[in-house]
Amino acid sequence: MKFTTSIFLCLFAALNSFGQESDDQIRYAEYWSGVEADFRNPEKSPLMEEDLADFDSIPRYAFNPDYRVEAVWEDVKRSKPFQIKATGKIRQRYQKVGLLHFAIGEDSLQLPVYRNLSLMRNPEYKDHLFLPFTDETNGESTYGGGRYLDVSHPEGDTLVVDFNRAYNPYCAYNDKYSCPIPPKENRLKVRVEAGAKHEGY
């Protein structure tokens, strides 16, 4: 009887885990579907006119749950505002507000998180935080200038960071944009094989 119960519990746990992963995959597909809808919209798309007609989808890695991590949030207080270097002349002011501590595989990592001081004036973006990063895939399977994540300020001391949603800056598709360049402290010395790839248009 105990043996049968153990098998049932293991099977239930496996099915529950599978269902959770499927939910994450559904959210992954929905997220990128929304991004690609904006790319197809001439009023929102960063693509050049000649590239828009041929656009099909954004090259990306398959969903990988190993790159959806729970990070420990560390507040950074009284950080001085600064301008992040950009690919063009337009630069915006940011303030470092947090430091994320997490692991990918056996690697313990950390990333600073920033608040855009102009964007925060819009009530819609009061909790919006900017997470730029570079990693060992840049210049190979991903854009050489790094990628971005958008996160919200956590209510507690942890935050889920989903690198499956990492996206390219608009300047990866059109050089008319001036895009923030991830600071040196946002360099991850690992391969982040998740999120958007870059194969050119």
Indicate the domain borders of the chain. Answer: 2-186
Contacts 24+ apart (CB under 8 A), 30-36: 31/165, 32/57, 32/58, 32/60, 35/167
Amino acid (1-letter code) at residue 96: K
pLDDT tens, the chain, 201 aa long: 443 444 333 433 444 444 455 788 899 999 999 999 999 999 999 999 999 999 999 999 999 999 999 999 999 998 999 999 999 988 999 999 999 999 999 999 999 999 999 888 888 888 899 999 999 999 999 999 999 999 999 999 999 999 999 999 999 999 999 999 999 999 999 999 999 999 753
Q: Is the dihedral of CA 6, 8, 11, 17 positive or negative?
A: negative
pLDDT at residue 11, rounded to an integer: 37
For residue 10, give the DSSP letter: H
